[in-house]
Structure 1
Amino acid sequence: MLDSYTLSLITSIPLCALKHLTASAGAHVFASMMLYSDMMLTLVIYILSHILLDLMATAGAHAFVAEEGKKLDKLLDSHTEYEFGGPWGVLAIMSGFPLLMYYLWICLVFYDGHLVFPDSLDDVQPFLARMWAHISVDATPNLYAWKVYLGLIAYQLFLAWIVPGYSQEGLPVPSLAYKTLVYKCNAIGCIYITWISAIVLHTTHIFRLTQIIDNFGHLMSVAMLVGFAVSFGMYFLTVATGNQIRMSGNFIYDVFMGACLNPRLGPIDLKMWLEVRIPWVLVFFMSVSGACKQYEELGYVTPNMAFMCLATWLYLNACIKGEECIPQTWDMFHEKWGFLVIFWNFAGVPFSYIYSVVYMANHDPANYRFSTPTYVLLYGTLLTAYYIWDTAMSQKSRFKMQTQGITTFRKTFPQLPWGTLKDPKFIQTAHGNRLLVDGWWGYSRKPVCVFWGPYAFAIN
């Protein structure tokens, strides 16, 4: 799911937090504002680029695969080289990212957004003791957090199983002799039911949404444990049943990259299910949780928090309204289901891409209040970039469907102008695939929003 560019975007979020956490106390108000701004903009960058990079293979799904293409596919389905620095690199990622997540959370919540270090060599042990004290008290995987987190997983699995959905054929899978798998796309119904359920639980005080942000640390620990457990459990189950593919022979590396390509539970494709139903549902509800907390404490929701609610809703809604496009992606077609995907979707995405909400929920709005023109610029940039991203993805995904003979598309909300191309131009490859070179894709191999987005946000 993540190539080196995507990983750089992921790491830029905690890195930009580190940059602003180093602000001096005298410049704290300015630093707090900049922290929020940088985190907002980095999140939007990720929103613009995540699916773009996941969908980066613009090739249309064509039934015919040339002999040259079959040779390439066979090579792609073999382990030829290590990525991410090999076994030692992935071990560092698996151990380092959870520690970084804890550290940034501690800095944001307990040290007013400042990066903290030991004062001296003599302070190293006391410093580590202080860090552990924060985790052991405010981030224990307590029973309440287990109930909430596992409850969400169980509810989303239940809905995915019973809610009617749209059947979408995926791309031909080389390892299955170019067989195409059918995916049940019912996320839009499941998430709308989830939203209604959340409103009912919140208004009846059975489960106040503010409890999500108030138990952030506890939930984060549970999410990490689930991510590790599922990653290792899936590896052992896949190997035990003889369904492993593209293995390196190194245990820790294969756990990280995954052993299983198409994990399924009844009608549910677990890989596609996990991409949307847990991480982006949590990201959205954490934003809403922060907004609810502001409303309860202040009597209003700041434009900054509303921005986060809008940004996360746009992404979540895009995922569910265009879920039938996901089976056409590299994620489904090629990426295995390992720690890289599992941990990041269970824990990394929902608890790393929401630092701005954590900061705002624990600080006075005076620390991050912007001018009206700044708000207009931020909201305008977000909505403009969203339009480009949404229509670019729609153009490419529907082009792929057209090559499979699909000409009728779902009319989910919102359907934006120029989302479908008529008689688009394409290049026929030696592999047998077709490369779209029309619409937004006629301007750039990765449409302008991939590059324009980061540049625009960096300038802002």
Structure 2
Amino acid sequence: MKPTMGSKNQSVKQRSSSTTEREFGGTLGATCIPIFLPLTVLYLISVVRSPAASVLQWPPPLPPTGHLWAPVAPALLLGWITLHVFLYLLPCGKVSEGLLLKNGTRLKYPINGFHALCISVALLMLLLWTDAPLGSLFELLLPLAVCAMGLSFVLSVYLYVRSFWAPHHALAPGGNTGNPLYDFFIGRELNPRIGGFDLKYFCELRPGLIGWVVVNLGMLMKEVELRDSPSLAMILVNSFQLLYVADALWNEEAVLTTMDIVHDGFGFMLVFGDLAWVPFTYSLQAAFLVVHPQSLSPVGAATIVLLNGIGYYIFRKSNSQKNQFRRNPMHPSVSKLETIATATGKRLLVSGWWGLVRHPNYLGDLLMAFAWSLPCGFSHLLPYFYVIYFTILLIHREARDERQCRAKYGLAWDAYCRRVPYRIFPYIY
């Protein structure tokens, strides 16, 4: 049916409308966070490479400006991203549809991230076989981080500018406030694409996440250079985090139902997180062990492995149950679970993993994060930065999700909260 003149005028009015809800401290947060996050990354890398590795050290061990740049760093970074663009475009794996958009359509996504990881690992093994100096990544951490941060700003500016040519239905729910600083930070466009190439989906799981594995391997090889063999602590950190990345890519389709893809715009917040924060702060434990080697007893190592295994089991089982229920609530594995009906027609799980706490996947995530830090011992606070940061992040994310669900489901959400009173930690929070 052709649109009437009235509907056309209404569309113009909608295009000019803006959202008013602001998160992350609003304009103040959007101004400060893009300044302090890059400084935090540089500070953490500098501290972890220092002999004291103390986050309370004053003055902080700031590097000379000459250490922030190496000509090879931008070549390595751009080469790495180019490789993953090529792997993203390979016609392997299946193609999956995302959730229903506001205009009634569904976007298609290539599910081939695990293939990209396997090819990346094979290329790394080839480099090791040819005696490539992967351990030099330890010295290149700062220049690589600087290049990744520069790329994050450039990409964020591009995304903000191009969003003004996007149709209104393509804008993110909270990214069209009319405040340039906030919209740049939070992201105006929900699913920016160049042709069929989805920029947010690509950055979410490809160069930064797999790059984290590469940085970890570089730290392991640096330890081999210094001490002839990797320590058990380094092997555990590499193994645990490789499992986490491999799991994310093996279950890549599940990311299509997450808040990042479904709700958040693609702006500086996600761009910086994907390309700079993840590979250069999530690898702090491995970098710490290069300068501060730790010894583990067999019993200690077994205990840490058990803790990581429990966390991974909770994380994987709860995420799989949620994703299956969202995609097909009549599937035999979830059809008998108890639910609460909502006015939107959707149902909320109140049994299974999601009857234990409201976010059992966060509980598993935090148990794994703690297990990643334990191989670094208890002499320094720095290796536990990830656990502390991630706890704050997940509590904040849970609060954002709580507000959205309460606004969306109303009384049904209140009933769900009475049935499942604990948010992340059973009988605690």
**TM-score interval (norm. to shorter):** 0.7 to 0.9
Deviation at 1:215, TM superposition (A): 0.9
Deviation at 1:242, TM superposition (A): 5.5
**1:280 partner amino acid:** L
**Counterpart Cα distance in 1 of 2:353 and 2:166:** 44
Where do residues 277-292 of structure 1 align in structure 2 (5 Å cutoff)? 277-292=206-221
Contact 2:96-2:110 at 8 Å conserved across structures:
yes
Partner residue, 2:355: 442
**Counterpart Cα distance in 1 of 2:108 and 2:68:** 40
Partner residue, 2:160: 235
Contact 1:102-1:135 at 8 Å conserved across structures:
no
**Counterpart Cα distance in 2 of 1:452 and 1:318:** 12
Q: Deviations over 1:74-118 (max 9, x none)?
A: 9xx962322111111221111011112212222221343133324
1:81 aligns with 2:7: no
Where do residues 191-230 of structure 1 align in structure 2 (5 Å cutoff)? 191-205=117-131, 207-230=132-155
RMSD: 2.7
Contact 1:213-1:290 at 8 Å conserved across structures:
yes
Unaligned runs of 5+ in 2: 1-13, 375-429
**1:138 partner amino acid:** H
449-458 or 277-286, larger mean C-alpha shift: 449-458
Unaligned runs of 5+ in 1: 1-73, 119-126, 409-419
- The share of aligned pairs that are identical, in percent, is 28
1:249 aligns with 2:178: yes
266-275 or 341-350, larger mean C-alpha shift: 266-275
Deviation at 1:162, TM superposition (A): 1.6
1:333 aligns with 2:262: yes
Which structure has more relative contact order (CA 8 Å, sep 6+)? It is 1
Partner residue, 1:20: none
Deviation at 1:165, TM superposition (A): 2.3
**Counterpart Cα distance in 2 of 1:111 and 1:295:** 19
1:116 paired residue among 31, 53, 57:
57
Contact 1:385-1:449 at 8 Å conserved across structures:
no
1:378 aligns with 2:304: yes
**Counterpart Cα distance in 1 of 2:363 and 2:177:** 32
Partner residue, 1:98: 38
1:423 paired residue among 316, 336, 342:
336
Equivalent position SS for 1:167? strand
**1:109 partner amino acid:** R
Partner residue, 1:400: 326
2:246 paired residue among 317, 320, 324:
317
**Counterpart Cα distance in 2 of 1:197 and 1:235:** 35
Contact 1:426-1:437 at 8 Å conserved across structures:
yes
Partner residue, 1:173: 101
TM-score, normalising length: structure 2: 0.76
Where do residues 23-38 of structure 1 align in structure 2 (5 Å cutoff)? none
Contact 2:216-2:283 at 8 Å conserved across structures:
yes
Deviation at 1:302, TM superposition (A): 1.0
Structure 1's 449 and 337: CA in aligned 2 closer, same or farther, altered over 3 A? closer
Deviation at 1:222, TM superposition (A): 0.4
Deviation at 1:240, TM superposition (A): 4.3
Structure 1's 275 and 438: CA in aligned 2 closer, same or farther, altered over 3 A? same
Partner residue, 2:313: 387
2:284 paired residue among 334, 355, 367:
355
Deviation at 1:214, TM superposition (A): 2.7
**1:157 partner amino acid:** V
1:159 aligns with 2:87: yes
105-114 or 353-362, larger mean C-alpha shift: 105-114
**Counterpart Cα distance in 2 of 1:315 and 1:451:** 11
**Counterpart Cα distance in 2 of 1:215 and 1:443:** 44
**1:437 partner amino acid:** V
147-156 or 429-438, larger mean C-alpha shift: 429-438
Contact 1:160-1:187 at 8 Å conserved across structures:
yes
Spell out structure 1 runs of 4+ moving beyond 4 A.
Answer: 240-244, 451-460
Structure 1's 181 and 302: CA in aligned 2 closer, same or farther, altered over 3 A? same
Equivalent position SS for 2:149? helix
TM-score, normalising length: structure 1: 0.71
Structure 1's 379 and 256: CA in aligned 2 closer, same or farther, altered over 3 A? same
Contact 1:163-1:190 at 8 Å conserved across structures:
no
Equivalent position SS for 1:315? helix
For these two proteins, the number of residue pairs brought into alignment is 353
Partner residue, 1:295: 224
Q: Deviations over 1:94-148 (max 9, x none)?
A: 1011112212222221343133324xxxxxxxx8xx73xx2412221x3200011
**Counterpart Cα distance in 1 of 2:368 and 2:314:** 15
448-457 or 213-222, larger mean C-alpha shift: 448-457
**Counterpart Cα distance in 1 of 2:368 and 2:115:** 36
